[in-house]
Amino acid sequence: MSIEVGSKLQGKVTGITNFGAFVELSEGTTGLVHISEVADNYVKDINDHLKVGDQVEVKVINVEKDGKIGLSIKKAIDKPERPARPEKSFRGGDSRGQGGRARQGRTNDSRAPKENFESKMARFLKDSEDRLSSLKRNTESKRGGRGARRG
């Protein structure tokens, strides 16, 4: 059986390193499951998830020209299809979205002009400078204890 990208295979963990686990596949070939491909969540220590001798199902994610085989355990697991997200609704009011107070602030109106990066950055810098100067004013007046300001 040839090893092709996308195929799911059974294998046996033959070695564990700090960056992943080596898995022996059929016909004596060996591939590497990188630590990022072990589980859907963050894996700090691979030994918490795998031990030498474990039988695992892996999916082939790449086969390089030099013969190295990249494997994934998390991609081999069939996940149920996620249901479509329901449309967001306004809070308050009745089920038709009427009643309650109108939303204030930002709107999601497609007719509103889009703000470009430069204007966003300029606004951010101005706000940042304002906050920083306010912070400096408040902390400078509290430093020095008695007699900090002499005229």
**For residue 122, is it within any domain?**
no
**For residue 35, is it within any domain?**
yes
Residue 146: pLDDT band by 50, 70, 90 thresholds? low
**For residue 129, is it within any domain?**
no
pLDDT digits (tens, 9 = 90+) for 91-123: 555 555 555 555 555 555 555 567 788 888 888
Return the amino acid letter for 31: G
**For residue 123, is it within any domain?**
no
Q: Quickly tell me which residue has 């999601």 as its tokens.
A: 108
Phi–psi pair at 135, nearest 5 degrees: -65, -45
| C-alpha closest to that of 36 among 70, 78, 79, 80 | 70
Q: What's the pLDDT score for residue 15?
A: 94
pLDDT digits (tens, 9 = 90+) for 60-78: 999 998 989 999 999 988 7
Instruction: Write out the residue range of the structural domain in which residue 57 sits.
Output: 8-72
Domain count, the chain: 1
Query: Which ranges constitute the DSSP H helices of the chain?
Result: 117-140
Contact 21, 50 (CB under 8 A): yes
Q: What's the pLDDT score for residue 136?
A: 82
Share of the chain above pLDDT 70, in %: 69
CATH number for the domain including 52? 2.40.50.140
pLDDT digits (tens, 9 = 90+) for 40-65: 899 899 999 999 999 999 999 999 98
Contact 40, 75 (CB under 8 A): no
